[in-house]
Amino acid sequence: MQRLKQIIIKRWVKILSVLLGIMGIAACTSAELYGCPNADYKFNGNVKNQDGENLEKMNISVKDYYKTTQTDAEGNYNMEFNSLLGTRITIYCADPNEEYKPDSLVFNVEYKGGDGDWYQGKAEKTVNFVLKKKE
């Protein structure tokens, strides 16, 4: 009797496995079902001191996105990346030599040109900083 139960259970497991496998394959016919909302981001700007002089090699970073760049000799920076969606972005500017006080800007993001599925489009923003000397 025990042996018969084991045989019946094994057969039901095989039948259920086949049925669930078929249902799973049927549910996966559209690639749009899987993914994460994402967007392209482009941020650029300039960093100056209070006297209007361009600041070179200032660190620019985007909070929670682990993206960092530095300003060039003219104080300009450019940052482009694709990432998961965020509705509020915080950009930080800091002097690695700590001569100037760090600054940041928080703003809401507007996406343009999405495809209606997972890709939400592109968010662009120019963010300029004027850093003050530490006292």
Average pLDDT over residues 9-27: 76
pTM over 0.75: no
CA 92/CA 15 separation, integer angstroms: 58
In the structure, what pLDDT confidence band is assigned to residue 10 with cuts at 50, 70 and 90?
confident
Report in angstroms the alpha-carbon separations of 12 from 2, 18, 25: 16, 10, 20
pLDDT at 31: 46
* End-to-end CA gap in the chain: 88
Q: State the average pLDDT for the chain.
A: 88
With contact defined as beta carbons under 8 Å apart, do 117 and 36 qualify? Answer: no
Q: Is 97 helix (H, G, I), strand (E, B) or coil?
A: coil
pLDDT at 104: 96
Phi, then psi, of 87 in degrees rounded to 5: -95, -25
Average pLDDT over residues 115-134: 92
List the structure tokens of 87: 């509705």
Q: pLDDT tens digit string along 66-79?
A: 889 999 999 999 99
CA 4/CA 10 separation, integer angstroms: 10
Average pLDDT over residues 116-131: 92
